[in-house]
Structure 1
Amino acid sequence: MKETQNVYKVYDKIASWFDKNRGQDLMEKAYLDFIIQSIPKQSHVLDLGCGTGKPILSYLLQHNMQVTAVDASKAILDIAKANFPDTEFILEDMRKLDLDRKYDALIAWHSFFHLSQDDQKEMFPIFKKHLKPRGFLLFTAGPDAGEAWGTLDGEHVYHASLSPQKYQSLLEEHGFQIIRQKMEDPDCGNACIWLAQLQ
C-alpha cells in the first residue's frame, strides 16, 4: 500500500540506501548562501526534514550556524546523529512541531513537499511560530496544484503541491514577504523554490 500520510515511514525503510545515494553536489547553495549572508553570524537555523544532514546541515555548520535539525524518520535521524554528533536533533513530525523557540531561518528543502495539500496549508502558522521577525523561510514545492509519485530504492514516494497562487496567498496571509521565487529551477533538479521573509 502506498504511503500518503506519513512519508517518513518510507524513509525508515530506505535510510541506508538514501544515505549512500542522496546527491551531495549542494544544488541548494545559492539559496543557502543568500540566507547565510542575510542573517548574523552564529544565527539559529531550523532544518526541518533534515535527512542525514548531508549536504545542507553540513554546509550550515561550516558557516558557523547553530542548527536544530528535525526529522520524523528515526532511521534517517540515527544516521544524521552519527554524522554530526554535536548537533541538536529532534525526532518529530513537522506537522506537530512546537519547540517554543524562534529561529533566524527555517529550511524545509525537499521535505515539506511530502505532505498532503491540506497538511501543507496547516504548516504556515507553524513556520511563522518558529521564526523571529525578519526571519527567512526556504522551502521547495511543485509547479502547480496536484500530487505526484516518485521512486526511491524501489519504494513509492508521495509528493504534493499547491498552486503558486495559493502559496503566495498563504505566505502573505501569515505575514511573509516573498524574496525569491523560481519555478522549476534547472540548477535545483527543476524544483520550485520559495524564499520568503517574515515581516
Structure 2
Amino acid sequence: MTKSSSSHTTSTSSQQSQKVEAYYQLHAQIYDATRWSFLFGRENLLDKIPDLPSQPHILEIGCGTGKNMERLSYHFPDASIVGIDLSPDMLQKAKKRLGSTKDIELKLGQYGKQSFNYDSFDLILVSYSLTMFDDNIEDVFEQICKDLKPQGYIAAVDFHTSPFNWFCKWMEMNHVDFSEQLFSLFKKYFSPSDIELKKAYGGLWTYFQFVGRQS
C-alpha cells in the first residue's frame, strides 16, 4: 500500500467512526428500548459457547450499552471481561448498567492495533458490530486473530443479507453493511463449531450466528 492510499484508508476509517459516533449520540438513549426488534440471536449465542478455561479473559468488540457483558458475567462468573466501544454515549449507558461489577473494564476507542496491552483472549464476542465497520474489515479480522489465543473462541451474531434492495439501502443509511461479506470472512478466518443462518420476519433479512476457532 502506498503512502497516499494508506492516508486515504485512515481518513475513510476516521470518517466512518465519526459518523457512527454521531449516530449513537441520539440512538444510545433509545437503543435498549428499540433494538430488541432487530438484534435477534444475541441471547442464545452465549449458550452455544463451549466451556472456557478457569478465569478466562473475554473481550467484546462494540460492547454498546453493556447488555452482553452483563450476560457474559453471569455465564462466566470468574472471567475478566473487557468491552470496547467508540461511542462515549453508549459506554455511559454501560457504566450505569454494570455499576462497579468486579472484573469488567470498559474502554473507549475504535478496535484496532493499538487497543490493548493485555494477554490474549480466551473468547472474543462480536454482536451486531462488525457490519458497522468501514471497508477495511479484513484488517479487523487479522487483528482479532492476533488478540485471540490459539485455542480461543470467536462468537458472533450479525446481519447477513436481504433480498430487498430498499431494505439494504435503508440499513445502509443506519451505517449497516448488508453485502454478505462478513459471513464469508468468518468462515475464511475461523473453523466453525456452531454455525447457523436464520430468517427474520419471514425473510425480510437473514442473520447469522457463528462460534469457532482460528483456522
TM-score, structure 1 as length reference:
0.77
Superposition misfits of 4+ residues, deviation over 6 angstroms: none
The farther-off stretch of 160-169 and 26-35 is 160-169
5+ residue gaps, structure 2: 1-14
5+ residue gaps, structure 1: none
Structure having the higher strand fraction is: 1
Go from structure 1 to structure 2 and tell me whether the alpha carbon gap of 1:88 and 1:168 turns closer, same or farther (over 3 Å shift): closer
- Give 1:198 deviation, angstroms: 2.3
Structure 2 match to 1:149 = 170
8 Å CA contact retained: 1:121, 1:170: no
Structure 1 residues 61-116: Cα deviation after superposition (integer angstroms, max 9, x where no partner): 11213210111000110110121133210001124553132111001100111113
2:47 to 26, 30, 33: 33
Go from structure 1 to structure 2 and tell me whether the alpha carbon gap of 1:79 and 1:163 turns closer, same or farther (over 3 Å shift): closer
Structure 1 match to 2:3 = none
Structure 1 match to 2:150 = 133
Structure 2 match to 1:5 = 16
Distance of 1:185 and 1:95 partners within structure 2: 31
Distance of 1:51 and 1:165 partners within structure 2: 21
TM-score, structure 2 as length reference:
0.72
Structure 1 match to 2:138 = 121
Distance of 2:180 and 2:41 partners within structure 1: 23
Distance of 2:185 and 2:159 partners within structure 1: 9
Structure 2 match to 1:17 = 30
**Max radius of gyration: which structure?**
2
Correspondences of 1:50-65 after superposition (within 5 Å): 50-54=63-67, 56-63=68-75, 64=77, 65=79
Structure 1 residues 26-46: Cα deviation after superposition (integer angstroms, max 9, x where no partner): 8423321222x4212431110
Correspondences of 1:43-82 after superposition (within 5 Å): 43-54=56-67, 56-63=68-75, 64=77, 65-82=79-96
- Give 1:158 deviation, angstroms: 1.4
Q: How many residues align?
A: 184
Distance of 2:125 and 2:22 partners within structure 1: 21
- Which one-letter code corresponds to 1:177 in the other structure? S
Q: Secondary structure at the match of 1:38?
A: coil
Go from structure 1 to structure 2 and tell me whether the alpha carbon gap of 1:23 and 1:169 turns closer, same or farther (over 3 Å shift): closer
